[in-house]
Amino acid sequence: MTKTVVTFVLLMVAIALVPAPTAAQGAVFLREEFSDLANWRPVTFPKIREHTRYSIETLARESVLRAESQASASAIVYRTTFNVSDYPRLRWKWRVDNVYAKGNARTREGDDYPLRIYVLFEYDPEKAAAFDRAKYGLARTIYGEYPPHSAINYIWASREDESGILTNPYASNAKMIVLQQGRQNLGRWIVEERNVVEDYRRAFGSDPPARATLGIMNDSDNTKEASVAYVGFIEVYR
């Protein structure tokens, strides 16, 4: 099983399925400023022995997440799901210090990124066709939970010529949206703001499932290279 497919399964298995609050409870669902990693759960993958190191670091008096990868792969996933209709907007600040010489978003061999922000959408068996219910039911039997219905990856791509919306080379239900590419902004803090519902419609041509959660990953197991990246904060809001 490929790393991306296994990622899908294990990220959802790792989620503690805490019900999402309603919109009436506030304009901001979460704002993570990374004073610690208590709200995040590590996720590792079968057959990948080396794991990315996630830690809290202070830069310029600011607490940030550091993600360091050395021919490795693992992720962290937020422990709680949220309702994407109530909270469709996502904002975060990220910094990448180097990209991968062999990175290529269009090939399996180059399917590594110094940083990607996942939005993982929850599978709903009540809205699925018969074939999908059988497929997801089998996965649930094997892994104990349903894998995600679909995912958006906001990526920092290594190549200058990568842009737009790309389908992951391992999984057709994972769409990658290139926000930064190449060396132009290396070492700089960049703030990104996205409407997840609008991005999902552009990527998949339909409305997203109701609930989702977040994941963060720096991986280099395919390219066998190394990188360091940071996330200053991440926020889900209306």
Parallel/antiparallel/unpaired status of strands 226-237 and 28-32: antiparallel
In this structure, the number of other CB atoms found within 10 A of the CB of residue 192 comes to: 15
Residue 132 neighbours by CB under 8 Å, 6+ apart: none
Q: 60-113 pLDDT, tens per residue?
A: 999 999 999 999 999 999 999 999 999 999 999 999 999 999 999 999 999 999
Please check whether residue 122 is in contact with residue 60, taking contact to mean a CB–CB distance below 8 angstroms. Answer: no
Tell me the two tokens of residue 32: 């993570």
pLDDT band at 22, cuts 50/70/90?
very low
- The confidence score (pLDDT) of residue 85 equals 95
Give the model's pLDDT for residue 130.
53
Per-position DSSP letters for 90-135, written without gaps between them: EEEEEEES---TT--TTSSTT--EEEEEEEEEPP-GGGS-HHHHHH
Q: How far is CA 185 from each of CA 5, 27, 68, 99, 226, rounded to the nearest angstrom?
A: 30, 31, 18, 11, 18
3-class secondary structure, 147 = coil
Interval 26-61: pLDDT, tens: 799 999 999 999 999 999 988 899 999 999 999 999
pLDDT at residue number 171: 84
Is residue 166 within 8 A of residue 175, CB to CB? The reply is yes
Contact 119, 214 (CB under 8 A): yes
At the fourth CATH level, which superfamily is domain 3-237?
A: Galactose-binding domain-like (2.60.120.260)
- Residue 203's H or E segment, with its range, is helix 196-204
59-73, 77-91, 114-128, 175-189: least confident range: 114-128
